[in-house]
Amino acid sequence: MSTPSSKPDYGIDAPGVIRNLLVIGVILLPLGWVVPQFTIASVTFVVGKAGLFTGSTLILEGFLMILYSKWGKFRHRDRMLKMVDWKGNENVLDVGTGRGLLMIGAAKQLTTGKAVGIDIWSTKDLSGNTMQATIRNAELEGMRERTDVQGGDATAMKFPDDTFDVILSNVCIHNIPGKKARAQACSEIVRVLKPGGKALISDFIHTADYVEAFRTAGAIASRTGMNFLFTFPWLRIVEVRKAAE
């Protein structure tokens, strides 16, 4: 009978994407070696060097994504957390908490504050993505009392206006289908952020749209350059401030 792991497990990001990259890459590599070209319905497809290059690139991308999941995202989390001037009494929200990496990291900065994580628990976006796994990680990290894990939709949050001092999110909002819905999520983040509060939203696409949406919602927003060192795909951080009343 297996026993639960005594170490927190923050999963593999986008496991299906990684699987597809590796499988297609492994198929293309030998094809590139042995099949220079083939013809179907009078159409000739050239494989050869193109197959070798594409296959190698896909395999490299797959391994870089695994490296990010196992190592890089912890460094990226630390970078995000260092962008907050922590007092210890903050109410924190992690939007799309997954298995709690940012939520638990934020909780470790707190004394009297609390970190809340919400998610819709999609295993397509993160392996083993369940509320129970997140709670288990919080317990293993000794942060259960400082955290609260809830199911929640980023486009329609159930929190009152002006609830959180700090809002965090990493590679979540791009999973929301449609530009309008993603803008709604940004608007919701501004709504539940306290005046004078700060939000840090990290993603690899749509970040310019996020900046526009946050500004439309009345916040001050800017974005960093890409993090080439620790992330793949390369991530930017959108920094948001809600003006103090």
Residues 42 and 86 in one domain: no
What is the per-residue pLDDT for 29? 78
**Bridge partner residues of 39 (DSSP):** 44
Predicted TM-score (pTM) of the model is 0.90
For 218, what's the count of Cα atoms within 13 Å in the CB-facing half-sphere?
15
Does some domain include residue 214? yes
**Tell me: the pLDDT tens digits for 154-163?**
999 999 999 9
Q: Residue 134 and residue 213: Cα distance in Å, rounded? A: 29
What is the per-residue pLDDT for 1? 41
Average pLDDT, the chain: 92
Residues 32 and 64 in one domain: yes
Which domain covers residue 216, as residue numbers? 76-241
Distance of CA 149 to the CA centre of its chain: 17
What is the per-residue pLDDT for 138? 98
| Least trusted range by pLDDT, from 44-58, 72-86, 146-160, 179-193 | 44-58
**Tell me: the pLDDT tens digits for 14-30?**
999 999 999 988 887 77
CATH of residue 206: 3.40.50.150
Q: What's the structural domain count of the chain? A: 2
**Tell me: the pLDDT tens digits for 163-174?**
999 999 999 999
In eight-state DSSP terms, residue 245 is: -
Q: Residue 134 and residue 75: Cα distance in Å, rounded? A: 19
- Which two structure tokens, joined as six digits, stand for 101? 């990496």
CA angle 179, 185, 187 (to 5 degrees): 105
Residue 200 pLDDT greater than 70, yes or no: yes
CA distances from 63 to 52, 74, 75, 152, 233 (A): 17, 17, 17, 31, 11
Residues 100 and 40 in one domain: no
Query: What percent of the chain shows pLDDT beyond 70?
Result: 90
Residues 138 and 120 in one domain: yes
**Torsion sign over Cα 134, 139, 140, 146:** positive
Work out the pLDDT band at 136, boundaries 50, 70, 90. very high
Residues 97 and 24 in one domain: no
| Least trusted range by pLDDT, from 35-39, 76-80, 163-167 | 35-39
Does some domain include residue 6? no
Residues 118 and 160 in one domain: yes
